[in-house]
Structure 1
Amino acid sequence: MKCPFCGADETAVADTRINDDGDIVRRRRRCLTCDKRFTTYERAGLRLPQVIKKNGSRVDFDREKLAASLWLALRKRPVSVDAVEAAIARIEEKLLALGERELASEKLGEMVMRELKKLDKVAYVRFASVYRNFEDVDEFSKVIREVSPEVPHPTQPLGR
């Protein structure tokens, strides 16, 4: 494994852990040249479905793009890297379980929203507002009420 900091080929494994499901190996590594530490994740390479975008084009499923979308929604939120990795793993497991060769991007987006709802409600609302392309405040309010039922409807008086 090359060091991401200096590019050296010689690294040593300092610690190895397997996640609770037993399908991901997390390794802490140390570069023998610059002595910096980094983490790698190892998982079985399986063929995931192609994603059919709204314009009809097809692209390969991209784990890094999925992770970037989750991290963008979770920006400055108190969610651990391990929790996000687990959410990504659950999405990939669901995709594999479908057994489909292709998947509509909308279906993938709904899977992401379900995982974000479990991880962090603020991130869920952020993602939903972009993903569902809200046109007005009422649509936004509806999603907020969905995750926080104690928020009154705009037509209801604030005092209960």
Structure 2
Amino acid sequence: MRCPYCSAPDSRVVNSRASDDGTSIRRRRECPACGRRFTTYERAQLEPLMVVKRGGERQAFNPDKLLRGLTLAAEKRPVDPAALRAFAYTFEDEVSASEIASEEVGRRAMAFLRPLDDVAYIRFASVYRKFDSLEHFLEEIQGLQAGDE
């Protein structure tokens, strides 16, 4: 397991136990390179969540890809990276279907970002909705302001 702090390629398991609900294994790990500790969870995945792209292509859901988009949108903003990670890695658990449209993934991500940070929300929306003019940005900002009042 790669260290989330220094990206060292390996870590050692310090402690391992079943989670409270019994559906996963909680592992406490330590990085030999930087000495920091972190927790990972291992769970069985019977059938992966499939994302249906706009062109009809189907791909397995990748939480890292969602996290990358959220992180780019929230770059240099006062948004807790742990909240972004938690959303991306629990997203699959929140979806009850075995398939989801990529547009729905984007809508849920925008709904998550909106109360956290307006700028991160607008950044994510600009990519998700493919803004191609200043008018699109202004419309979204006006909608955001109207929703805050």
In structure 2, relative to structure 1, the CA distance for the partners of 1:51 and 1:41 (3 Å cut) is: same
Give the aligned residue type for 2:70. L
CA shift at 1:25, angstroms? 5.2
Q: 1:137 aligns with which of 134, 138, 142?
A: 134
Amino acid at match of 2:36: R
Cα distance in 1 between the residues matched to 2:108 and 2:27: 24
- Pairwise CA distance, 1:146: 2.1
Contact 2:131 2:137 in 1 (8 A): yes
Q: Which amino acid aligns with 1:85?
A: R
Offset at residue 135 of structure 1 (A): 2.8
Using a 3 Å threshold, how does the CA distance of structure 1 residues 118 and 86 change in structure 2: closer, same or farther?
farther
Aligned amino acid, residue 67 of structure 2? A
Q: What is the CA–CA distance in structure 2 between the aligned matches of 1:72 and 1:13, rounded to whole Å?
A: 32
Structure 2 equivalent of residue 112 of structure 1: 109
Cα 1:142–1:35, aligned 2, differ >3 Å: closer, same or farther?
closer
- Equivalent in the alignment of 1:5: 8
Question: 1:12 deviation in Å?
Answer: 5.1
C-alpha distance in 2 between matches for 1:148 and 1:48 = 38
Q: Do the aligned residues in 1 keep the contact of 2:71 with 2:81 (CA within 8 Å)?
A: no
The equivalent residue for 2:86 is 86
Structure 1: give runs of 5+ residues left out of the alignment.
Answer: 151-160
Q: 1:130 to 1:38 in 2, by over 3 A?
A: same
- The structure whose Rg is larger is 1
Q: How far has the Cα of 1:134 moved from its partner?
A: 1.5
Q: Residues 12, 90 of structure 1: CA spacing in aligned structure 2 closer, same or farther, 3 A cutoff?
A: closer
* Identical-pair percentage: 35
User: Quick one: distance in 1 between partners of 2:87 and 2:48?
Assistant: 16
Deviation string for 1:100-142 (max 9, x for gaps)? x221111111111111112211111001111101132222111
